[in-house]
Structure 1
Amino acid sequence: MTENNYRILVVDDEQDLCEILKFNLETEGYQVETANSAEEALTMDIAGFDLLLLDVMMGGISGFSMAKTIKKEPATANIPIIFLTARDTENDTVTGFNIGADDYISKPFSIREVMVRVRAVLRRTSDEGTASVEPQLLSYQGLEMNLSKKTVAIDGENIPFTKTEFELLQLLLEERGRVFSRQELIDRIWPKDVLVLDRTVDVNITRLRKKIGRFSKCIVTRLGFGYYFDS
C-alpha cells in the first residue's frame, strides 16, 4: 500500500492541533480526517482507517476509553493507535500500552517526530501480503498462529493481537527454548528509527502473557538475561 492509500483519523479536542496535523499528514501523502471528540469519532467508520492518532485527555469520553471500545470490536481491534497526551507519566504510558497502543507521543511534540512515528507504525502494521516460503501455521498444543492471516487462536478461539504482540509471539515460538535479551527483541521486532525502552518490552510481554491465557507460563523470564518460550 502506498502512502496515498493510507487513511488516518486524528481525534483531539484542540481543533487547531487537528488542523495542523491534518495539513502536515496530507502533505506527506496520507488521507486524513479529524474529529474533535471521541463521541464524534465513534460515529465514523473506524474500521475504514489504517491508523488512529488519539488524544488521551478529552472532555466526555477519554482517549483511553475510546481505545478500549475499539479494541473490543473484532472489526477494529487490530487498527494501530498512537496516543497523544500532555501527561508524560510512566503510569499513563503503561496504561496506554496495556490497552493496545502501538506508540505514545507526549505533548508538546514536533511535527517531524509525529511523521517519523506514523511512518514507523504503518510500516510495522502493513507488511502483509508479501511472498513467503515460511509455513503458514505455527502451533504449540492449543496455541495456533496463522502466519498468512496474522491471527492467533487459543483452543480454537481467535484472540486479537497487535502486530508487535504477534511478532513477539512468533519469534519466541519459532525459536523455543532460546533466551532473548530485551535488546535482541528490540532489534528484531521494533523499527530502527524508533526509540524503544526496556520497559516497553516488559509491558508488551505482560500483555502477551495475558492474551495467551493458560500458555502464559510458557513465556519465562530468565532474570538478568531476558525471555524465552519454554515448551
Structure 2
Amino acid sequence: MEERLLVVDDEKDICDILKFNLENEGYIVDVANSGEEALKILSNVHNLIILDVMMNGISGFKMAEILREEGNYVPIIFLTAKNSENDLLTGFSLGADDYIAKPFSVKEVIARVKALIKRTSIIAQPAVTKWSFEGLNIDISASRVTIDDKEVSLTKKEFEILSLLTQASPKVLTRADILSSVWGENEYVLDRTVDVHITRIRKKLGEYGSMIVNRSGFGYYLNFNDKNENE
C-alpha cells in the first residue's frame, strides 16, 4: 500500500516543492495551507504529517496539541525556522516525532520521511512516551533518561536507538531495522556501528545495561521484565 502524506505550510511554494519531490519518491501527497484546512483534510489514511510551526491561525504546535489530545498519534515532522532548545522541547513535548529546520534540504526531508515511516511501521501505535523500570526512567517526549533521578548523558544516536528499542519492546529489531530507522537510507554505515552504539548505551546504563538483550542471529530487544537476563 502506498503511504499517504499530508504537507501543511502556509507558503505555497514550499508545499509545491515538497509535493513534487515526495510524489517522485512514490508517496501520495495531500497539501493544506493552514492548520484549519489540515484538520479538515486529515483522515486515518494519512501515514505522516509534515507540519510547519509558524502559520497564521492555528499554529503547527497548536495543531499537534489538538491531535494528541484527540488520541491521534499520526507521526509528525515539524518544519520550522525556530530551532532553539526551548522550541525543540516544546515540539517534542507536544508529540513531534522529528524536527527539520528551515531552510531545509529536500533530500534530508525525504530521508527523514523514509526513516520515520520505517520506524513507525516497527512500533505499534499509539506510542507511549514514558517508561519506568525500578530506578530507570526513559522519557521520550523530553529526550531524557535518568537512573535514580540522575541524568544519563546519551548522544543523539544513542538516545534514538534506546527510544526505538523501548517503543518496540519486546519485539526483536534487526541491525538493519535499527540502521534504517536511526540513520536513514542515505547514510552509509555498517552493521557493526549498531553493536558499537549498543555497547556504549549498556555501559552508560550501568546495572540496567543488561536489559538490552542480543538475540543471536536476530538482533536486539529491550527486556523490561528482568534486567539480569543473559544474552
TM range (shorter): 0.5 to 0.7
Alignment of 1:1-231 (within 5 A): 5-74=2-71, 76=72, 78-127=73-122, 150=124, 160-161=126-127, 165=129, 169=131, 182-183=154-155, 184-190=158-164, 191-193=181-183, 225-226=204-205
Q: How far apart, CA to CA, are the structure 1 residues paired with 2:101 and 2:30?
A: 21
Cα deviation, residue 65, structure 1 = 0.4
The percent identity for this pair of structures is: 49
Query: Which segments of structure 1 move beyond 6 Å, counting only runs of 4 or more?
Result: 176-181
Q: How far apart, CA to CA, are the structure 1 residues paired with 2:225 and 2:122?
A: 29
Q: How far apart, CA to CA, are the structure 2 residues paired with 1:33 and 1:113?
A: 20
TM-score by length of 2: 0.61
Kindly provide the CA deviation profile for residues 122-180 of structure 1, in whole angstroms up to 9, marking residues without a partner as x. Answer: 0110136xxxxxxxxxxxxxxxxxxxxx46xxxxxxxx535xx3xx74xx65xx67778
Task: Determine if contact 2:6/2:42 at 8 Å carries over to the other structure.
Answer: no
Aligned residue-pair number = 160
Kindly provide the CA deviation profile for residues 183-206 of structure 1, in whole angstroms up to 9, marking residues without a partner as x. Answer: 554334453316xxxxxxxxxxxx
**Structure 2 unaligned regions, length at least 5:** 137-146, 165-180, 185-202, 209-223, 227-231
Alignment CA distance shift 1:186-1:127 (3 Å): closer
Task: Determine if contact 1:182/1:226 at 8 Å carries over to the other structure.
Answer: no
Cα deviation, residue 44, structure 1 = 1.4
Cα deviation, residue 117, structure 1 = 0.6
SS in 2 for 1:46: coil
**Structure 1 unaligned regions, length at least 5:** 129-149, 152-159, 195-223
Q: How far apart, CA to CA, are the structure 1 residues paired with 2:91 and 2:135?
A: 30
The aligned amino acid for 1:187 is I
